[in-house]
Structure 1
Amino acid sequence: MTKTKTAKSKAIKQKGFTKGKVKNTKVKQGFSRWLIVTAIKLSIIFVALISLYSIYLDGKVRQTFEGQRWQIPAQVYANIPVINADKPINLAKVESELIHLNYQRVTRVTSPGQFSRQGSKVTIFRREFDFGYGLQEPALISIEQKNGEVYRLTENSEVKHSVKLEPILIDRILSADAEDRVFLSLEQVPQQLIDTLLLIEDRDFYSHHGISPTGILRAFWKNMLAGATVQGGSTLTQQLAKNMYLNRQKTIWRKVNEALISVILELRYSKDQLLEAYINEVYLGQHYANGIYGFGLASQFYFGKPLSELDDAQIALLIAQVKGPSYYDPWRKPERASERRDLILRVMFENHTLTKNSYLNAIEQPLSIRSERRFAKQSYPAYMQLVRRELKDIGAGNALQSGIKVFTGFDLVRQQNAEQAVIEQLAQLEKSKDSSELQTAVIVSDIRTGQIQAVVGGKEVKYSGFNRALDAKRPIGSLIKPVIYLTALERYQQYNLATPLADEPISLKSSTGKRWQPKNYDGKYRGHVPLIDGLVKSLNIPTVNLGLKLGLADVADTLHTLGYQGKVKKVPSMLLGSTNMSAFEVNQWYNTIANSGIYNRALAINKVVSGDGETLWQRENVVDARLSSQGAYLIDYALTKVTSEGTAKSLAWKFPEQLLAGKTGTSNDLRDSWFVGYDQESVVTTWIGRDDNKSTGLTGSSGALTLFANYLKKQGSHSRYDFMPDGVEFATFELATGNAVTDECAKVAQYPAVTEGIFFSTECLEKKPEPPSWLERLFGLGDD
């Protein structure tokens, strides 16, 4: 019985054990199943989250990459030099501008960016450039001069009537976050730079999919063997992802983002697109507060020339900067930069992108960087203020960071000559007046187009503050007088250059009872003077009398017709220049007078082109004749007499072989000294005054005119020549009556006049005496 119980007991225990074991097994299986299900669920959630996040990243990547990837500075260019086969040329000016553009003077021209001069022949290898209608290939240009004019002009050995040269870059309008770059298409990048960049940074670039484990292992092995960092582990795509989309914090999350973005970039875009983006995005240095991004700008920053003109050693030094622009800074750490460059050159040689001789020559070269870290860029703040205002006015202000090209009428030589004239002349005038408070403004414009060629906004020519040429509005004094006389000459039935004007004391009473009694500058009265003398000698009384007869409203209308857009207070004092204007405003309407009455709006900008080559805005070229050709000729004739016989006659002996035109102006109490002068090419408006509006002690002749003369001495001039229009001829006028008379009358003068307005008189106040007979001449009987 005991055995039976024991066996039964064992059986029961065995059965319980088995049940427990099965139960535990079921528990374990259930837990495992739960783990698997949970893992699957978590994996699905993880994949979903990664997918959603990838979709978010994909949108971010596409928005940046396919939109405006970078803030590319607006590039502002000077006037495009055009050489014509039938026009005068100043080879010294051409040479100066080429040097300013960092063209290399050589004995024999062989590559773009070089030029040579042999006597009267200049040979230029023009760089590739986009003049606003697509990138133009480099061109070999030859200019041969004879007697000051071009007589043979060729481009790539083909005879041309005209050729264009590369314009000067006068400024770059940077982005708000101070990024600066020069965008290059992949086709513009030298193959040597591409090959070397891939060798050093990512030789598997065209075979991997954004991340390269083998590249990381190979870089580790190469660097260990070399004992230095020869190759990087990150792919170019990863570097691009980091530079374009991420910050520089070294965290795991950033590395995850970098990997995901790299894969997205590889899936979305071609290798060439990614390589082009990298070449323009990579950070390669720091120019004070501004970052240097991309190889295009880095080439200018380190070597002062385009990427296409770099040699092997310079390319190697640029690629050395990818590893660390601060660590390998060639100005601060030349030995370290040289060592890194030579290491890259060795890799180039070992991989057969350099021959042995090229390699040995390259490692022997100095770094050949620019002598100073600061960009050798001239500063023309007054002119750039005008450009910025115009960009805003034409609606291009929002496109400033999209790589637009702005082509202007800026003339480097005229600007430099104007600045130098200001520096010299104001120093001389301040010394003679024992004053250091004089200020100035200068505007130079092209007569035929109205383009603004130069602007000086004050005595400190490089100061970017208050621009007196644009914003200082001062009484213009006698500058207004040509408007009054022009108004009369357009009424050719009533007035001509010989019409007598009263020069006697006058007294006018205003509505408030205040009397106005103008006087001539010399305090004298002449009774009557011919109309032309009133302007040439700048007489106040004849001018006021004439203006009052014409009507103040008509004079104001003429001023607006010439191009002045401001308001004119129609009071008698306006006839002596009480209206306030800036030098820019004055230059505008004088340009119309100088251009035979044809109006052109005064603008600095000629054309604005997008980064893609699309013309966003272009200056309209329309013929807008505001004056009759006869009236325009007569007023111009009178203004040439101002410089030969009148208040600006000092120009006649300073420039005896040149025919110039112009007008002086002086405001009350000698507060403002003005002069506007022009030759056949440009109008120059000069003003000298004080910011506190106190007297300068200078008239238009003793102040602003001397500044104009100094400028013209430096610039040179082209003598005025006006063809007499149909309907105008010279006639003999009796000075006392203003009548057209025969040669029998005494006290006469010859002036041009509108033919229809000439009415001949058969009578004279005084006839010429009969010439003595031969007998009287023989015995002297006809002499007093």
Structure 2
Amino acid sequence: MWKFLIQLDTNYKVMVSKTPTKKTSSSAKKSAAKPAKKTTVNNNPPSNSKLRWCVVTAFKLALVMLLAIVIYVIYLDGKVRNTFEGQRWQIPVQVFGQIETITSGMPLNLQHLRKSLDYAGYRKVAQVKRAGEYALSNQRIIIYRNSFDFGYGMEPAVELTINVNSGVVERVFQAQFEVESVQLEPVFIDRILPESKEDRVLVALETVPEQLIDSLLLVEDRDFYFHHGVSPLGIIRALITNISAGRTVQGGSTLTQQLVKNMFLTREKTLTRKINEAFMALILEYRYSKDQLLEAYLNEVYLGQHYANGIYGFGLAAQFYFGQPIQSLTPAQMALLIGQVKGPSYYDPWRFPERAKKRRDLILRLMFEQNYLTKNAFVDAVESDLSIRHSRRLVKQKYPAYMQKVKSELAQILDPQSQQTGIRVFTGFSLFSQLSAEQTVREQLAALEKSHQENNLQAAMVITDIETAEVRAIVGGRESGYAGFNRALHAQRPIGSLIKPAVFLAALERYEQYNFATILKDEKIVLTSDSGKEWQPKNYDGKYRGQVNLIDALVQSLNIPTVNLGMSLGLESVANAVHLLGYQQDIVTRPSLLLGAINMSPWQVNQLYLPLVGQGQYLQAHVINQVISAKGETLYAFEQIKEQRLSDNGAFLIDHALQQVTKTGTARSLTWRLKDKQLGGKTGTSNEQRDSWFVGYDQQHLVTTWLGHDDNQTTALTGSSGALVLFANFMKKQGVVDLVPTAPSSIVWQKFEKISGHAVEENCQDTIELPTVNWNIKLQPCQQKAEEPKSWFEKLFSD
């Protein structure tokens, strides 16, 4: 370009310098010596030369100006592309709960499901017609599930029908076709805000209701799909429409211009900004499709203010104003949101409800006139109230204890920058379990404080699915919504008798040496350390029984027999068993370890018991199952590696003993608290009753419960009178799935003589039948034979 201008200027100079001249004659030379006559000389260039100079100069200036515009447009193009094709926003992490699959033949409580649907923003109606609605009867629920991306592409909204008979799913239908199973939309838990603290809910264009899109374009830019970014005709038409209506009904700027203003420019009203706006709008229209621009607009437009934070995008606005996902909005709610585009402050429905309603009704009328609404729907919408949330405050950290664990695991999966790209996190969270646990803690702590003259008791609970090790709920304290100290994750407390199953497991795995009938001493014992310090353990009741068999020592949680067993096994063997169950920290091997002188959090205890109640398989407890990118790509999927750490025999025997704990042992109050239910569990109490523990389970859930004081003061509660009470109350709400133990083929039921612990014939006196490994069972003679049964004649004449 510059070479062209230089060449043009050079040519012009050459052209002027080559003006024709006449040759000088000899006579002229002579006459030149004579005095010249006085004449008038014209120094101005010819008129055609002046015009030519103006044209060339103007052409130069135009080229320079054109070049400057081209360079500026290239600059703007780079700016637009860097923003639009890069990370447009720092988008919060969206965290969802469990993706529940309903399958024929599975147990299902319709009332539990109803609570989850209500929380998720679904509306109960008499007849289901649109997404976000459900209808419920005694034996059937019909759900019009919202469109949702479960991690393998957007699933359209669809009607689901679930028939239930006697608490069991009988038949399942999807879009009127019978299927084996259906997936329910997971509960939205919370958003993790980025460093900018800018809250936003990213929505894909295909998930936005068509009625909302059509109405938005009708009001804001009806020629959106026909113009190229700037619409002069649209400006003229909007002006005429607004004058006719006597108020501002339509805007003159295109949606593309509005997008530019929101995404790239400030709100100052200057000519420079308007020029930039027009240029950038043209660039966007050239570079990207209409659908891409519309989707960006739906996520960028400013629609309100939540105290210090702006509300950007229709996705977040739907939750902010109505507490519902965008797919569940009614026509009236859509119209109210569209009305906010014009002026969120002026039409704020909390501060100026009359203004907001007038604006909404005006938009509803436009929708009706364009046949987007039927007459009946229009009348119903206009007559409806604003239906906004009672308070403009968005409640955050509803489940802070669970979210703390989500954040902790997410930090190990993705770096902070990757967490701001609109990812979605799917967890094992169960809303019903979480609400039941929180209600249990809230109610039972108050009742226990009143009955035992206690104050300021605290509690923690961890609820885990035994089959998958997905953590369903976490309670970190009595104030469930308080994002403070999370006792479930961080309170390190002595676990007391919860350690005993690990001690007895180490023995039962040596099946040739130990079984349930093995005799253990229950006599006074004094242990002396290398430094000469004495330790004298005692049973909780202070009594000595002389001797007990192994299963009774565990079921009754007797301390002295446990210490004797642990010392005979060796402290290293016990420590190895604890590590085998999943405890990863170092263990100080001293005799007090055998009675639980080791600190763990409820989360660690929960992990410790998973193999004990899960048929000996080690599973890693976790909250995050899957992480999906904004584009629908799977960034992370949890892979559970099942590792058989206990023998089948050892796992079954420990499970059997823990079931006996709830029937005849320290947790026998469960026989009337949860009557006729098949459960397992173990109580735990630390020294001076500073900590009350209970770990209980049914066929489906493992529940770890702790209760005590933050300042480590003593309580009036043991494991059975404190934490067990919380467990029982929770299971009443949750519902018990009875244990159905399956014994390995190598397990048989054998009679043992109590006094000797030997496997004996059936004619011995005072025997007990116990499960045992059938390898190398050696029957021995009785120490006390059973008396021969008396005849009826002897009974008649005996004293």
Counterpart position of 1:367: 386
- Report the 3-state secondary structure (helix = DSSP H, G, I; strand = E; otherwise coil) of the residue aligned with 1:698: coil
After superposition, residues 474-623 of structure 1 pair within 5 angstroms as 474-623=493-642
Give the Cα–Cα distance (whole angstroms) in 2 for the partners of residues 356 and 149 of structure 1: 43
C-alpha contact (below 8 Å) 2:628/2:634 kept by paired residues: yes
Alignment counterpart, residue 729 of structure 1, candidates 748, 751, 755: 748
Q: Which moved more, 1:147-156 or 1:739-748?
A: 147-156
SS where residue 194 of structure 2 aligns?
coil
1:720 to 1:350, Cα distance in 2 relative to 1, 3 A: closer
- The answer to whether the Cα contact below 8 Å between 1:178 and 1:291 also exists between their aligned partners in 2 is no
Change beyond 3 A, Cα 1:352–1:461: closer
Question: Identity over aligned residues, as a percent?
Answer: 56
Q: Secondary structure at the match of 2:683?
A: strand
1:409 equivalent to 2:428? Answer yes
Q: Hey, what's the Cα distance between the residues in 2 that align with 1:528 and 1:346? A: 88
**Would the alpha carbon gap of residues 167 and 191 (structure 1) be closer, same or farther in structure 2, given more than 3 Å must change?**
closer
Q: 1:591 to 1:522 in 2, by over 3 A?
A: same
1:646 aligns with 2:665: yes
Shift of 1:377: 7.1
CA contact (8 A) 2:460 2:705 kept: yes
Alignment-derived partner of residue 177 in structure 1: 196
1:323 correspondence with 2:333:
no
Aligned to 1:251: 270
Report the RMSD for the aligned CA atoms in angstroms: 2.3
What residue in structure 2 maps to residue 5 of structure 1? Answer: none
Corresponding position: 1:230 with 2:249 = yes
CA distance, structure 2, for counterparts of residue 766 and residue 352 of structure 1: 95
The CA deviation at 1:510 is 1.7
Per the alignment, residue 695 of structure 1 pairs with 714
Question: For the residues of structure 2 that align with 1:718 and 1:289, how far apart are their CA atoms?
Answer: 48
Give the equivalent residue in structure 1 for 2:441: 422
Correspondent of 2:144 among 125, 150, 167: 125
1:39 CA displacement: 5.5
Cα 1:351–1:96 change in 2 (3 A) is closer
Q: For the Cα contact (< 8 Å) 2:753–2:764, is it kept in 1? A: yes
Match of 2:793 among 746, 754, 775: 775
Residue by residue over 1:332-370, the C-alpha shift from the partner in whole angstroms, topping out at 9 and shown as x without a partner, is 111111222233334444555556665455433333333
| Counterpart AA for 1:48 | L
- More displaced, 385-394 or 285-294? 285-294
| Aligned-partner residue type, residue 765 of structure 2 | A
Structure 1 range deviating more: 385-394 or 73-82 = 73-82
| CA positional deviation for 1:652 | 1.4
Contact 2:471 2:623 in 1 (8 A): yes
1:684 to 684, 703, 714: 703
Unaligned runs of 5+ in 2: 1-35
Q: What is the deviation of 1:35?
A: 7.1
Aligned equivalent of 1:6: none
User: What are the Cα deviations for residues 83-106 of structure 1, in whole angstroms up to 9, with x where unaligned?
Assistant: 121121111111111111222222
Contact 1:475–1:580 at 8 Å: present in 2 too? yes
Gaps of 5+ in 1: 1-10
Offset at residue 632 of structure 1 (A) = 0.5
Matched AA of 1:778: L
Amino acid in the other structure paired with 1:162: S
| Alignment equivalent of 1:387, drawn from 406, 411, 416 | 406
Give the letter aligned to residue 529 of structure 2: S
Q: CA deviation at 1:461?
A: 1.3
SS of 1:323's equivalent? coil
Q: Secondary structure at the match of 2:719?
A: coil
The separation in 2 between residues aligned to 1:508 and 1:432, in whole angstroms, is 38
Pairing 1:68–2:91 present: no
1:307 aligns with 2:326: yes
Match status 1:295 vs 2:311: no
TM-score, structure 2 normalization:
0.91
Equivalent residue, structure 2, for 1:147:
166
Shift of 1:210: 2.1
1:481–1:351 Cα change, 3 Å: closer
- Alpha-carbon shift at residue 41 of structure 1 (Å): 5.0
2:6 is aligned to none
One-letter code aligned to 1:764 = C
What is the aligned partner in structure 2 of residue 663 from structure 1? 682
Do structure 1's residue 753 and structure 2's residue 772 form an aligned pair?
yes
> What is the deviation of 1:301?
2.7
Paired with 2:701 and 2:370, the residues of 1 have a C-alpha distance of: 59
Is the CA contact 1:492–1:757 (under 8 Å) kept in the aligned structure 2?
Answer: no
Residue in structure 2 matched with residue 340 of structure 1 by the alignment:
359
Distance 1:771 1:349 in 2: 95
Give the stretch that moved more between structures: 103-112 or 318-327.
103-112
> Residue 120 of structure 2 aligns with which residue?
101
What is the CA distance between 1:778 and its match in structure 2?
2.2
How far residue 555 of structure 1 moved from its aligned partner, in angstroms, is 1.0
Output the CA distance in 1 between the equivalents of 2:423 and 2:523.
Answer: 61
Other structure's SS at 1:676 match:
strand
**C-alpha distance 209-366 of structure 1, shift in aligned 2 (>3 A):** same
| Residue of structure 2 equivalent to 1:8 | none
CA–CA distance in structure 2, aligned partners of residues 405 and 390 of structure 1: 14
Please state how far the C-alpha of 1:431 moved relative to its aligned partner.
2.7
**Is the 1:170–1:377 contact (alpha carbons within 8 Å) kept by the matching residues of 2?**
no
Q: In the alignment, is residue 166 of structure 1 matched against residue 189 of structure 2?
A: no
Paired with 1:189 and 1:764, the residues of 2 have a C-alpha distance of 80
Aligned-pair distance for 1:749?
1.0
Verify the 8 A CA contact 1:596 1:629 in the aligned structure 2.
yes
SS in 2 for 1:443: strand
- Checking the alignment, whether the CA contact within 8 Å between 1:391 and 1:397 is kept in structure 2 is no
Instruction: Measure the CA separation in 2 of the matches of 1:159 and 1:347.
Output: 41
User: Which of the numbers 235, 241, 244 marks the counterpart of 2:260?
Assistant: 241
1:111 alignment partner AA? R
Contact 1:302-1:370 at 8 Å conserved across structures = yes
Deviation at 1:277, TM superposition (A): 1.5
Greater displacement, 386-395 / 507-516: 507-516
TM-score, length basis structure 1? 0.93
1:421-448 deviations in whole A, cap 9, x for unaligned? 1111211222344342322111111111
Aligned partners of 2:364 and 2:378 also within 8 Å: yes
Q: Aligned residue pairs: how many?
A: 764
**Paired residue for 1:92?**
111
Which digits, 9 at most, give the CA deviation of each residue in 1:505-525, with x for residues without a partner? 222222222122211112222
Deviation at 1:26, TM superposition (A): 3.9
Name 1:51's counterpart in structure 2.
Answer: 70
Query: Separation in 2 of the partners of 1:468 and 1:666?
Result: 17
Q: Measure the CA separation in 1 of the matches of 2:51 and 2:496.
A: 102
Please tell me whether the aligned partners of residues 664 and 676 of structure 1 are also in contact (alpha carbons under 8 angstroms).
Answer: yes
Q: Is the 8 A contact 2:140 2:162 kept in 1?
A: yes
* Residue 28 of structure 1: how far off its partner (Å): 10
Q: Alpha-carbon deviation of 1:330? A: 1.6
Letter of the structure 2 residue corresponding to residue 482 of structure 1: P
Deviates more, 1:704-713 or 1:359-368: 359-368
1:754 CA displacement:
0.4
C-alpha distance in structure 1 between counterparts of 2:140 and 2:366, whole Å: 44
Paired residues of 2:321 and 2:388 also in contact (CA < 8 A): yes
Instruction: State the SS of the aligned residue for 1:505.
Output: coil
Aligned partners of 2:397 and 2:483 also within 8 Å:
no
Rounded to whole Å, the distance in 1 between the matches of 2:244 and 2:674 is 76
User: How far off is 1:129 after superposition?
Assistant: 1.4
Paired position in structure 1 for 2:691: 672
Question: SS of the residue aligned with 1:72?
Answer: coil
| Equivalent AA in structure 1 for residue 433 of structure 2 | R
Counterpart-to-counterpart distance in 2, 1:218 and 1:12: 75
Work out which of the residue numbers 421, 444, 449 in structure 1 matches 2:463: 444
Measured in 2, the distance between the counterparts of 1:356 and 1:478 equals 71
What is the Cα deviation at residue 118 of structure 1? 2.3
Query: Is the alpha carbon distance of 1:209 and 1:152 closer, same or farther for their aligned partners in structure 2, counting shifts above 3 Å?
Result: closer
1:765 aligned to which of 783, 788, 791: 783
